[in-house]
């Protein structure tokens, strides 16, 4: 007698609509290439005028980790990203803690983008209460994510193209200025990369800050369940996003460093974008570019919003968060709508939240994810699957991820104290919550079964 399962209720699932180009555009929008101008003053002062080298150090660490993400996406094409990889490759307990820490990275990114947009808005129209602007931006960001990932991807594709055009225009003005005698007065120089005043440790510290600029490349791994042929598309998209973003950052910072050999021209190096635009483009264009910057950070916030809502969905589907809320998929829109609304509510904290504190939390979460993605490759392929019998195996599944972990480790050593303290406090809360979920670790960590 056969069992009839045709009437069994089916769980609503995420809808596969994305291809390679939209995914890369989502990653680049998440990265927001124009963030270069926001961090330039800080890192230039820290590295004594070697921002390009700091970006090169960050890119090396990121590319090793991008390769590791690619391997794991093929093995585990899940929206859970680093959380799922560490859970399956190392242990469910480690996976939970990686996911919990990654929430810092994802959860505060939409709010940080709204905070940046609020700062731009306040410089443009100081007479209007900024909370009105925050509510409108968060409302648009949340509604777009409720309707579906394709809407977000299409919007972000347009914004990325416009960002590149604006950055090319600004870089062209910088090149013209340098050729006319501004700054170093020469377009060919090793000074932005190395000089007699260069020191490696400050550059690595600068690279730690600049890792914040690359955060989109890992976020797109959370789109695996909404991407066609994800096992091929997502790994390529991850590597291309990191590489394209890195090339843009290094090239633009090279010419910008020639224009501004040091930070003496900046009144406020910690918020350098408005002054860069004023010096390079003039007052009229400065206003236009700041208005466009509001749109770019909105696009980045929308991509981050999509990523964190999917991470919480997977953790809810697993049962480590209450499933009825976090694991819910809207039957019509096929999006984790309750998570989208929750992230939107948290983004409203931008009305009064501190940008420095939010950024510190993000850096900790990102480095946790990067570290354990590299370690997960070793644990899954080299140890569990015993792909350790040939030289090629050793290179692919031990040497490359080990180099990735070591380069990320160099960023850990130079992590700001506030990031470490706040991150460890968040981790301690996660351990307490995990103890509650597992009844003082007597029960296993809940996991989603694909057979259900």
Q: Are 115 and 107 in contact (CB under 8 A)?
A: no
Task: List, in order, residues 6 or more apart from 47 with CB less than 8 Å away.
Answer: 53, 54, 198, 202, 203, 205, 206
Which pair of structure tokens corresponds to residue 162? 């416009």
**Averaged confidence pLDDT in the chain:** 85
Residue with tokens 């597992």: 438
Confidence grade of residue 450 (pLDDT, cut at 50, 70, 90): very low
Q: Is 386 left (phi over 0), alpha (psi -120 to 50) or beta?
A: left
Confidence grade of residue 6 (pLDDT, cut at 50, 70, 90): very low
Q: Are 188 and 196 in contact (CB under 8 A)?
A: no
On the question of pLDDT at 419 being above 50, the answer is yes
On the question of pLDDT at 348 being above 80, the answer is yes
pLDDT score at 402: 95
φ/ψ of 18, rounded to 5, equals: -90, 145
Q: What is the DSSP string of 422-439?
A: HHHHHHHHHHHHHHHHTT
On the question of pLDDT at 225 being above 50, the answer is yes
Average pLDDT over residues 232-242: 90
On the question of pLDDT at 5 being above 50, the answer is no
Q: What percent of the chain has pLDDT over 70?
A: 94
Q: Which of 428, 365, 401 is nearest to 81 (CA)?
A: 365
On the question of pLDDT at 212 being above 50, the answer is yes
* Higher-confidence position of 339 and 121: 339
Each residue's pLDDT tens digit, 16-63: 778 888 888 888 887 878 888 888 888 898 898 899 999 999 998 889
Task: List, in order, residues 6 or more apart from 49 with CB less than 8 Å away.
Answer: 191, 192, 195, 197, 257, 261, 262
Average pLDDT over residues 348-367: 77
> Which residues make beta-bridge pairs with 227?
18
Which pair of structure tokens corresponds to residue 110? 């939409």
CB atoms within 10 A of CB 429: 11
On the question of pLDDT at 343 being above 90, the answer is yes
On the question of pLDDT at 448 being above 80, the answer is no
Which pair of structure tokens corresponds to residue 118? 């609020």
pTM assigned to the model: 0.78
Which pair of structure tokens corresponds to residue 377? 């490759």
Which pair of structure tokens corresponds to residue 54? 């700091």
Q: Residue count of the chain, please give it.
A: 452
Average pLDDT over residues 130-147: 90
Q: Are 347 and 357 in contact (CB under 8 A)?
A: no
Q: Are 207 and 61 in contact (CB under 8 A)?
A: yes
pLDDT score at 7: 45
pLDDT score at 2: 41
Q: Measured between alpha carbons, how far is 113 from 133 in angstroms, rounded to an integer?
A: 13
CA separation (Å) from 354 to 30, 116, 153, 415? 21, 11, 29, 19
Task: List, in order, residues 6 or more apart from 63 with CB less than 8 Å away.
Answer: 239, 242, 243, 246
On the question of pLDDT at 80 being above 80, the answer is no
Q: How many Cα neighbours within 13 Å face the side chain of 240?
A: 15
Confidence grade of residue 452 (pLDDT, cut at 50, 70, 90): very low
* Higher-confidence position of 174 and 274: 174
pLDDT score at 351: 82
pLDDT score at 451: 38
Average pLDDT over residues 259-269: 87
Average pLDDT over residues 293-321: 85
Q: Measured between alpha carbons, how far is 318 from 41 in angstroms, rounded to an integer?
A: 43
Q: Which of 356, 367, 394, 435 is nearest to 119 (CA)?
A: 356
Q: Which of 274, 254, 255 is nearest to 178 (CA)?
A: 255
Q: Which of 381, 395, 377 is nearest to 68 (CA)?
A: 377
Average pLDDT over residues 320-331: 90
Task: List, in order, residues 6 or more apart from 33 with CB less than 8 Å away.
Answer: 160, 163, 164, 167, 245, 248, 249, 252
Average pLDDT over residues 182-190: 89
Each residue's pLDDT tens digit, 108-125: 888 888 888 887 787 778
* Higher-confidence position of 452 and 388: 388
Q: Are 311 and 102 in contact (CB under 8 A)?
A: yes
Under DSSP, the state recorded for 263 is S
Which pair of structure tokens corresponds to residue 262? 């040091």
On the question of pLDDT at 93 being above 90, the answer is yes
Q: Which of 241, 2, 266, 294 is nearest to 124 (CA)?
A: 294
Which pair of structure tokens corresponds to residue 433? 């919550």
Under DSSP, the state recorded for 8 is S
């Amino acid at each position: 007698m056969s069992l009839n399962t045709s009437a069994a209720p089916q769980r609503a699932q995420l809808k596969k609509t994305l291809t390679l180009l939209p995914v890369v555009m989502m990653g680049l929008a998440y990265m927001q290439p124009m963030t270069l101008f926001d961090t330039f003053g800080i890192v230039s002062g820290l590295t004594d005028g070697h921002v390009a080298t700091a970006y090169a150090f960050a890119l090396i660490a990121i590319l090793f980790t991008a390769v590791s993400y690619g391997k794991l996406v093929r093995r585990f094409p899940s929206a859970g990203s680093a959380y799922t990889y560490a859970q399956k490759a190392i242990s469910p307990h480690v996976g939970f803690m990686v996911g919990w820490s990654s929430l810092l990275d994802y959860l505060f990114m939409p709010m940080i983008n709204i905070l940046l947009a609020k700062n731009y808005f306040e410089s443009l129209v100081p007479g209007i209460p900024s909370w009105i602007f925050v509510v409108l931006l968060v409302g648009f960001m949340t509604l777009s994510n409720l309707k579906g990932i394709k809407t977000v991807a299409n919007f972000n594709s347009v914004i990325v193209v416009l960002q590149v055009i604006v950055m090319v225009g600004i870089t062209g003005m910088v090149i013209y200025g340098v050729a006319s005698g501004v700054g170093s007065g020469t377009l060919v120089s090793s000074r932005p990369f190395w000089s007699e005043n260069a020191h490696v440790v400050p550059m690595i510290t600068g690279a730690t800050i600049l890792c914040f600029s690359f955060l989109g490349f890992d976020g797109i791994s959370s789109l695996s369940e909404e991407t066609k042929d994800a096992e091929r598309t997502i790994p390529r998209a991850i590597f291309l996003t990191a590489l394209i973003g890195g090339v843009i950052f290094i090239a633009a910072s090279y010419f910008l460093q020639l224009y501004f050999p040091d930070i003496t021209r900046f009144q406020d190096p910690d918020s350098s974008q408005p002054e860069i635009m004023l010096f390079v483009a003039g007052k009229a264009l400065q206003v236009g570019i700041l208005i466009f910057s509001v749109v770019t950070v909105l696009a980045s916030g929308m991509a981050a919003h999509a990523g964190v809502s999917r991470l919480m969905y997977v953790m809810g589907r697993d049962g480590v968060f209450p499933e009825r809320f976090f694991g819910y998929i809207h039957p019509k829109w096929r999006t984790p709508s309750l998570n989208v609304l929750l992230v939107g509510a948290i983004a409203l904290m931008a009305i009064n939240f501190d940008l420095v504190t939010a950024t510190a939390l993000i850096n900790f979460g990102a480095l946790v994810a990067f570290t354990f993605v590299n370690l997960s490759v070793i644990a899954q392929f080299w140890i569990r699957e015993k792909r350790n019998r040939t030289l090629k195996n050793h290179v692919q599944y031990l040497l490359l991820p080990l180099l990735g972990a070591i380069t990320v480790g160099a960023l850990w050593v130079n992590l700001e104290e506030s990031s470490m303290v706040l991150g460890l406090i968040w981790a301690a809360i996660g351990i307490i919550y995990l103890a509650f979920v597992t009844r003082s670790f007597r029960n296993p960590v809940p996991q989603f079964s694909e057979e259900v």
